[in-house]
Structure 1
Amino acid sequence: MSVAGLGPLLRFALRRDRIMLACWIYALLASVIGTAVSFRSLYPSASSREQLAASINDNGSLRALYGAVYDTGSVGALTAWRILGLGGLLLGLLCVLLVTRHTRAEEESGRLELLGAGAIGRGAPLAAGIGTALTASAVVGVVTAGFLAASGEQPGGSLAFGAALFGCGVCFSGVAAVAVQLTETARAANGIGGAVLGLAYLLRAAGDAAGSTGPGWLVWLSPLGWVERVRPYADNAWWLVALLLVAGVVQTGVGHWLAGRRDLGGGLLPQRPGPATGAGSLRSALGLAWRLQRGSLIGWTVGFAIGGALLGGISKGVDQLVSSSANVEQIVQRMGGSTQVTDAYLATAMNLLAMVAAVYAVQTALRLRGEETSGRAEPVLAAGVRRLAWAGGHLVFPLLGSAVLLLAGGLTAGLGAGVVFGDVPGWTGRLLVGGLVQLPAVWVFAAVTVALFGLVPQWTGAAWGVLGVLLFIAYLGPALNAGQWLLDLTPFTHVPKLPGAAFHAAPLLWLTLLSALLTGAGLAGLRRRDMG
């Protein structure tokens, strides 16, 4: 297929995504750099690193969550162990979203047909989407390798670390290149890519949890397992980096081949026909929003239930892990607000679930802007639906949907902790409260998104930047011994650290009031501005 016009199309894609790319790349690099800096202060000696490795490797649940520690000879090896699995997962997700955004989403909206009527070759959009994803992956890989090498880590291991991340991006860009040929909608293509990522993560986790006494070979069925097994600063397994690159190139080639053998706008998988008449629930703005957002809510809820169960299930082994370093114990207690290690850990776990729930809240609130820019909001509003009713239907999900996620995570975390400690009712009740108490902090991020959407719609995407900065402060600030004034910038600092700490209602009321004011300002702006 022709890729005529690839250069201008790629430059346009990079310009269009400059804010989103900056936020994602910043978050990924901040995680790498922050982890390296914190490990250098937490585990300065070989003995402390060996104690950490023993704590992780002797616990199957911790191995499933983080993978096995393969080398304790350097801080770089610990950073690679901690980052490659999760970082590869997030980078793969970014690549799936980018490729879908510049191919299937453009095709679904009709813009690709207009471009194709000009001097743009049939294969150029897919090549531009792949190019955008690879550019982001290359930046993450190069900066990661450069920072670690400059900080004194072994150059060969640093290069292998960066190359492993880049190879993961190439591999999952190829997955997306195939996924966008199979379906007729961007949502379904992202669903296929997300399902492949989820399966890869589960295979990696199951293989690591089994270790040498079970089906550890499952790791080799997962690209995330390949990334993990590169083992920078120890094995430097470049053949696995090559395997990731080959897999990505082959899948990309298959994607281009399939793109040339289907109709524009069509997918290779048959679409299921819908009902002849619409459901009665679609007569309301809330019913329409539910139809559009229910799949996302169900998927996130399942993920929170699994994550909560895992975090609660490993709580009994936390004492040994945390005791490997006095600094780690101080950080966990600082984040969890309790001198009791188990309470502090579980409060920290609820805090981490709330941070992820904030991502869901921003994503679902941004659906308003997506409906507006795609033109789908206009016919709904033209049919007599008021703007505030339309917006309110969608805002139910970042506000109440976030509560559902925290309930699911708190419930399963309580069940997991209750099973290992022998007190299911007690721990379930405590962690349900510990999860729900985080809700006002999550609402703040949704409210910021609504305020931007209503007042300065062209900057709505900046909500991701606000989220990224504040999550970085909340997640890594205690480990980096940040000043209290900096920690106070994030809403998560102000919620009661339950279980373990004292409950105070005042911060929750202030956060709720702030969310109400920001949401009200955004809705007031929406009433007065032009749509589109």
Structure 2
Amino acid sequence: MTGLGALVRLALRRDRLLLAVWVVGLVGITLSTASTVGELYGTVESRQQLGATAGSNPAFLAMLGPLYDASTTGGVVAWRWGVFGGLLVGLMAMFLVTRHTRAEEEAGRLELIGSTVVARHAPLAAAVVVALLAAAVIGLLVALGLVGLGEPVGGSFALGLAFASVGWVFTGVGAVAAQVSESTRTANSIAGAALGLAYLLRAVGDAAGDEGPTWLTWLSPLGWLELTRAFAGDRFWVLLLPVALLGVLLAVASVLVTRRDHGGGLLPARLGPARAPASLGSAFGLAWRLQRGTLIGWTLSLFVLGAVYGSVARGVEQMLEANPALERIIAQMGGTGAIVDVYLASIIGIIALFSAIYVVQSTLRLRGEESAFRAEPVLATPVSRFAWVGSHVLFATVGTAVVLAAAGAGAGLVHGARVGDVGGQVARLVGAALAHVPAVWVVAGLAFALFALAPKLSSASWAVIVVFLVLGQLGPLLRLDQWAMDLSPFTHIPKVPGAELTATPLVWLTVVAAALVAVGFAGFRRRDVGR
């Protein structure tokens, strides 16, 4: 491990602002949620009513997981924010590891470092140490903050360690993914797919019911976060599972790093055919060749996620049976079907946020091509700058509609089969999903503008998604001012199905997205390629 200390200090220095944003943001959101929950549900009766109406319902189990104990504020916080908080900690750890391993190797900087007195394992170990420390600091500060708000010490540390454990697992996942692929983009895709699978397994296992495959929750690191039962028994022994998995993943990564060539991956890139097909003779054809794998993968993934959420839509009606007062209220608002539409609108909104991850990944493929010095040879041909960037932006925008339509179709097929109206539900939910397209286009416009105007800050596009996620999921709970929640384009989308679809906000969001894209084209036209 020669050089490990110096590399850790270098990584901490380079990421001091990035780490500060992650730590302060995640800890601040958790503590703000706890404070607001304490105000909204200040009595035991109000929390127990919440548990009776939402905490054990299949639809809410799929979205948020089980509410093990509604008698304490901490128990409600662990239910309302636990899964999403763990998801973000896992993303942070994954990106940190690939940033300091595969990205450095792909850029050629790790080869320069390796030519000095640095051990072969030191760069990987440094990235792992930084990610583990970041997750641990978040967990510790969350625990201390909750204790400071008056929550029980045991439950506070159980929740903090559960958050940290998700980061630890995906530190290992990122370390292995960095050894498998030759590119940072593919490594992030592999680790991101593992995180998505963890979320899906947890959702299916939580919503399965007593007679379903509840054991699937035990296969997910996000499920382990829930099964720790913070503020509801504090099962610290469950945390041994992520620690054991981390040890296995790090052992695998440490072996793989010595079994591959520097700059290469465990799975070498396949050689292409001797002659290129005619489709690669245009910028559009090249963009399709580079983008098709991402588009197909996200289309299938969101179709499955939509089907999972659609399968439990009817379970929302069980809340009406358990709460006659709520049934009368919903009947006055438009019948029992209204609450199902509210649920469907909520899950489509969440899926739309997931699709924003696709659109950022697709748009930032431009930055990846530029950083890898593959853009200059293309632009040295008769291909114009407009054609090169325009082809990738086209796939990002059209791909948004494709992946959202797939999610709506998945939800509509399963929900329609359960209510006996497949055709009608597919049309309704595909239309509801497509209504979110302009909001996702705004995210694409922001990512493209950052790439064109400030390419070194293009990775800040991921932070934009996190901000929109917090504003959408926790804005009302945190009692944010309306102007703050209006900063998210998703706030302006009508809550369809169920609400009236108005064209005005969709048109304005499309105009904003078009303006951002126009700014991006103008900026890229004037800056040096490779800057």
Change (3 A) 1:109 1:140: same
Letter in 2 for 1:460: S
More moved, 156-165 vs 254-263? 254-263
Partner SS for 2:2:
coil
1:194-213 aligned at under 5 Å gives the runs 194-213=192-211
Confirm or deny: 8 A CA contact 2:97 2:175 kept in the other structure.
yes
Q: After alignment, is 212-221 or 310-319 more displaced?
A: 212-221
Matches within 5 A, 1:378-457: 378-457=376-455
Q: Distance in 1 between matches of 2:184 and 2:464?
A: 26
Q: Which residue of 1 aligns with 2:528?
A: 530
State the match for 2:146 in structure 1. Answer: 148
Instruction: Say if 1:88 and 1:169, in contact at 8 Å, map to a contact too.
Output: yes
Matches within 5 A, 1:295-444: 295-321=293-319, 340-444=338-442
Aligned pair count? 525
Counterpart for residue 489 of structure 1: 487
Residue 27 of structure 1: how far off its partner (Å): 5.7
Q: After the TM superposition, which of the residue ranges 160-169 and 48-57 deviates more from structure 2?
A: 48-57
- C-alpha distance after superposition, 1:192-229 (max 9, x if no partner): 43444344444444443445435444433433333322
Quote the Cα distance in structure 2 between the aligned partners of 1:473 and 1:249.
Answer: 36
Question: Equivalents in 2 of 1:328, 1:479: separation in Å?
Answer: 20
Change (3 A) 1:22 1:509: farther
- 1:25 is displaced (CA, Å) by 4.5
Contact 2:204–2:308 (CA under 8 A) maintained in structure 1: no
The C-alpha deviation readout for 1:25-76, integer Å capped at 9, x for no partner, is 4664465345434543454433443444445575455434433332223121
In the superposition, relative to structure 1, how do residues 14 and 377 fare at CA in structure 2: closer, same or farther (>3 Å)?
Answer: farther
Return closer, same or farther for 1:354/1:117 CA change in 2, 3 Å cut-off. same
The answer (yes or no) to whether the contact 1:23–1:464 under 8 Å persists in 2 is no
Q: Deviations over 1:256-291 (max 9, x none)?
A: 233234332344446544322223222222222222
CA distance in 1, matches of 2:219, 2:473: 31
- Structure 2 residue identity aligned to 1:317: G
Q: 1:277 to 1:31 in 2, by over 3 A?
A: farther
8 A Cα contact 1:437 1:495, kept in partner = yes
Contact preservation (8 Å) 1:43, 1:325: no
How far apart are the structure 2 equivalents of 1:24 and 1:295? 30
Q: Which residue of 2 aligns with 1:233?
A: 231
- Cα distance in 1 between the residues matched to 2:20 and 2:357: 16
Aligned to 1:511: 509
Q: Output aligned runs, 1:471-490, within 5 Å.
A: 471-490=469-488
Equivalent runs, 1:25-424 vs 2, <5 Å: 25=23, 28-29=26-27, 32-33=30-31, 35-55=33-53, 59-60=57-58, 62-269=60-267, 271-321=269-319, 340-424=338-422
Q: Which residue does the alignment assign to 1:10? A: 8
- Ranges in structure 2 where 5+ consecutive residues have no aligned partner: 331-335
Q: Distance in 1 between matches of 2:250 and 2:326?
A: 43
Instruction: Give the Cα–Cα distance (whole angstroms) in 2 for the partners of residues 44 and 325 of structure 1.
Output: 20
Distance 1:136 1:4 in 2: 22
1:154 Cα deviation after fit: 0.6
**Residues in 2 aligned to 1:346 and 1:191: alpha-carbon distance in whole angstroms:** 28
The AA in structure 1 aligned to 2:109 is: R
Distance in 2 separating the partners of 1:198 and 1:185: 20
CA RMSD of aligned residues (A): 3.3
Q: Please tell me whether the aligned partners of residues 279 and 285 of structure 2 are also in contact (alpha carbons under 8 angstroms).
A: yes
Sort the Cα spacing of 1:35 and 1:417 in 2 relative to 1 into closer, same or farther, 3 A.
farther
Q: CA deviation at 1:314?
A: 2.5
The 8 Å contact of residues 170 and 249 in structure 1, kept in 2 or not, is answered as no
| TM-score, length of structure 1 as denominator length | 0.88
Shift of 1:188: 4.1
Contact 2:86 2:225 in 1 (8 A): yes
Q: Which secondary structure does the structure 2 equivalent of 1:527 belong to?
A: helix
- In the TM superposition, residue 524 of structure 1 has moved relative to its aligned partner by 0.8
Deviates more, 1:66-75 or 1:438-447: 66-75
Q: Distance in 2 between matches of 1:256 and 1:243?
A: 20
What secondary structure sits across from 2:129 in the alignment? helix
- 1:335 matched to which residue of 2? none
CA distance in 2: counterparts of 1:350 and 1:44, whole angstroms? 30
Q: Is the 8 A contact 2:59 2:316 kept in 1?
A: no
- Normalising by structure 2, report the TM-score: 0.88
Could you say if the C-alpha distance between residues 384 and 487 of structure 1 is closer, same or farther in structure 2, counting changes exceeding 3 Å? same
* Distance in 2 (alpha carbons) for counterparts of 1:211 and 1:526: 53
Do the aligned partners of residues 342 and 264 (structure 1) sit closer, same or farther apart at CA in structure 2, a change above 3 Å counting? same
1:35–1:79 CA contact under 8 A, matched in 2:
yes
The secondary structure found in structure 2 opposite 1:213 is: coil
Q: 1:194 to 1:473 in 2, by over 3 A?
A: closer
Tell me the CA shift for residue 161 of structure 1.
Answer: 1.0
Deviations 1:419-442 (A, max 9, x none): 333333222222222221221122
Distance 1:271 1:518 in 2: 35
